Amino acid sequence: MGRKALCEIPPMGWNSWNTFTENISEDLIKQTVDAMKEQGLLEAGYEYVVIDDCWSLRERDSEGRLVADPEKFPNGMKALADYVHEKGFKFGMYSCCGTRTCAGYPGSFEHEFEDAAQFAEWGVDYLKYDNCYKPQNHDGKTLYRRMGIALANSGRDIVFSACQWGTDSVYDWIGSSGAHLFRSTGDINDSWNSIRDIAHSQLDKQAFSGAYCHNDMDMLVVGMYGKGGNSYISAGGCTDEEYQTHFSLWAMMNSPLMIGCDVRNLTDATKKILMNQDLIAINQDKECRAPFLCSENPESFVLVKFLSNGDIAVGMFNMGDTAAGVAVNFWDIGLNAGSGRGLEFYDCIEHQNLGIKKEIFSSTVAAHGSKIYRCKVVSVK
């Protein structure tokens, strides 16, 4: 049988880095898997459990193979992958295109085929591939293509997550590398400024994302409340309103939804945000249409996304520090008054129908807030 086509829609899951950094272990991953299962996150679509950096020993073995740290992972990665799979999840790991990972562990530079085969042997379903310690005389596109070839010929279907940071004109070539998603930003941290700046940086990059190769705006910080794995990540934390806007932006902008908080201790507010099926459905729409900027003011903007069943998603975002009125003119969407059509608005955060609107719709959006609507095109008199 041939290799399956992977990642038609943005992947969803959990990654260890934001909360735990180097403090990872077999027990932590098992507890996380159990908690995700018990709290319904798998059923909601979060299927990948990804171990980030710091999982291996500092050096390869005498045969040049990567070795899982026996203190952190005493039963090895194959046994852990089996546990993850038995619970219904998919298993993800981490490496780097350079000589070392970002935390100083062995990278996959000039070990691409050996490492890809080893990951396949362990039962890995997803590889996050970072961009640290890249030799200066090697260009990024070649190194990512190397691992893309290696994974595609590893004998196992492995999602290739290129953590490339948006450098080296990545948008021009990443689709040719075999990557299924590509990090297009620097590292996120648990602050409103980080969320806002990342979103603004990607508003003009949406056309580069699509089915099978998704623009990754980094992991979610929803529910972290300042409890990051280091001082940079912690950054003071956010309010629930800001976390909601963060999730709304990532959903509308087709970014993978990779949870970064400790899922063993979710607040009710965090669960409500992460498990919002109306927003998840917009993110997971099978056609992966890029959203377009419908209107923009100094502190607010409107994103519009066409969905596969003919519905239209409308996202209103207020990045400012005071409440603001935000409006969408249907003419700007492509729905002129002479068409005899209007939009029936459904609020995806409050989960209520707002009725049929004609020509224009406006709403007051809280400071650092968002409103997301799913709209049906309907006939109006």
Rounded Cα–Cα distance for residues 288 and 283 (Å): 8
In total, the chain counts a number of residues equal to 381
Selected catalytic residue, list 69, 187, 240, 347: 187
What is the token pair recorded at 229? 């794995």
Looking at residue 289, what DSSP letter applies?
A: P
Q: What is the 3-state secondary structure (H, E, C) of 254-285?
A: CCCEEECCCHHHCCHHHHHHHCCHHHHHHHCC
Rounded Cα–Cα distance for residues 218 and 255 (Å): 8
Rounded Cα–Cα distance for residues 42 and 61 (Å): 36
What is the token pair recorded at 76? 């090895």
Q: Catalytic site residue 190?
A: no
- Indicate the angle between helix axes 192-202 and 240-252, nearest 10 degrees: 20
What is the token pair recorded at 83? 């546990």
Contact present, 65 and 30 (Cβ < 8 Å) = no
What is the token pair recorded at 362? 């406006």
Q: Catalytic site residue 61?
A: no
Selected catalytic residue, list 52, 53, 115, 130: 130
Contact present, 33 and 263 (Cβ < 8 Å) = no
Contact present, 218 and 225 (Cβ < 8 Å) = no
Residue numbers annotated as active site: 130, 187
